[in-house]
A and B are shown apart, each in its own frame.
Chain A
Amino acid sequence: MDSALFWEIFFKALVLILVLLTGFAYLTYYERRALARIQSRVGPNRAGPLGLLQPVADAVKLIFKEELIPAKAFKTVFILAPILTVVPAILITATVPWGGTVTIGGREILLTIADVNVGVLYIMSVASIAVYGVVLAGWSSNNKYAMMGGLRSTAQMISYELALGLSFVAVILLADSMNMTKIVEAQRGLPFFLLQPVGLIVFFFATLAELNRGPFDMPEAEQELSAGYNVEYSGMKFALFMMAEYTKMISISAITATLFFGGYLGPGVDAYPWLGPLYMFGKIFLILFMMIWVRASWPRIRYDRLMALGWKIMLPLSLALVFITAVGILFEMMWLIPVLSLVAGAVAVQSINLSLRRKANAR
Chain B
Amino acid sequence: MTVDLILFLILAAVAIATALGMLLSRNAVYSALFLVLNFATVAVFYLLLGAPFIALTQVTVYAGAIMVLFLFVIMLLGTEELPKGEGLNWQKPMAVILAVVLMVEATFLIFVQEPVADLISNSPSADFGGPRAIGELLFSRYLLPFEVTSILLLVAMVGAIVLTLNKKEGGQK
Nearest chain B CB to A77 CB, angstrom units: 7
CB pair B68 A118 closer than 8 Å: no
Nearest chain A CB to B173 CB, angstrom units: 11
CB pair A131 B131 closer than 8 Å: no
CB pair B59 A129 closer than 8 Å: yes
| B145 in contact (CB, < 8 A) | no
Nearest chain A CB to B138 CB, angstrom units: 15
| B76 in contact (CB, < 8 A) | yes
Please encode chain A, from 318 to 330, with 1 for each CB lying within 8 Å of some chain B CB and 0 for all others: 0000000000000
Q: Is the interface of B mostly helix, strand, loop or mixed?
A: helix
CB pair A125 B64 closer than 8 Å: yes
Nearest chain A CB to B61 CB, angstrom units: 9
Instruction: Give Cα distance in the complex from A125 to B47, angstroms.
Output: 14
Instruction: Give Cα distance in the complex from A136 to B72, angstroms.
Output: 10
Q: With A125-B59, A128-B60 given, is the CB distance from A154 to B52 under 8 Å?
A: no
Closest chain A residue, CB of each to CB of B130: A117
CB pair B131 A121 closer than 8 Å: yes
Q: With A117-B52, A147-B75 given, is the CB distance from A131 to B64 under 8 Å?
A: yes
* Further contacts, 5 of them, CB under 8 A, given A77-B29, A128-B63, A158-B65: A118-B56, A121-B60, A128-B68, A135-B75, A178-B131
Instruction: Give Cα distance in the complex from A308 to B68, angstroms.
Output: 20
Interface size class of A (residues with CB under 8 A): 20 to 34
| A151 in contact (CB, < 8 A) | yes
Chain B residues bordering chain A, tally (CB within 8 A): 20
Nearest chain B CB to A160 CB, angstrom units: 13
CB pair B68 A135 closer than 8 Å: yes
CB contacts (< 8 Å) of B68 on chain A: these are: 128, 131-132, 135, 154, 158
CB contacts (< 8 Å) of B65 on chain A: these are: 128, 158, 161
CB pair B72 A151 closer than 8 Å: yes
CB contacts (< 8 Å) of A281 on chain B: these are: none
CB pair A121 B56 closer than 8 Å: yes
Instruction: Give Cα distance in the complex from A136 to B80, angstroms.
Output: 13
CB contacts (< 8 Å) of B45 on chain A: these are: none
Instruction: Give Cα distance in the complex from A307 to B68, angstroms.
Output: 17
Closest chain B residue, CB of each to CB of A179: B131
CB pair A116 B52 closer than 8 Å: yes
CB contacts (< 8 Å) of A158 on chain B: these are: 65, 68-69
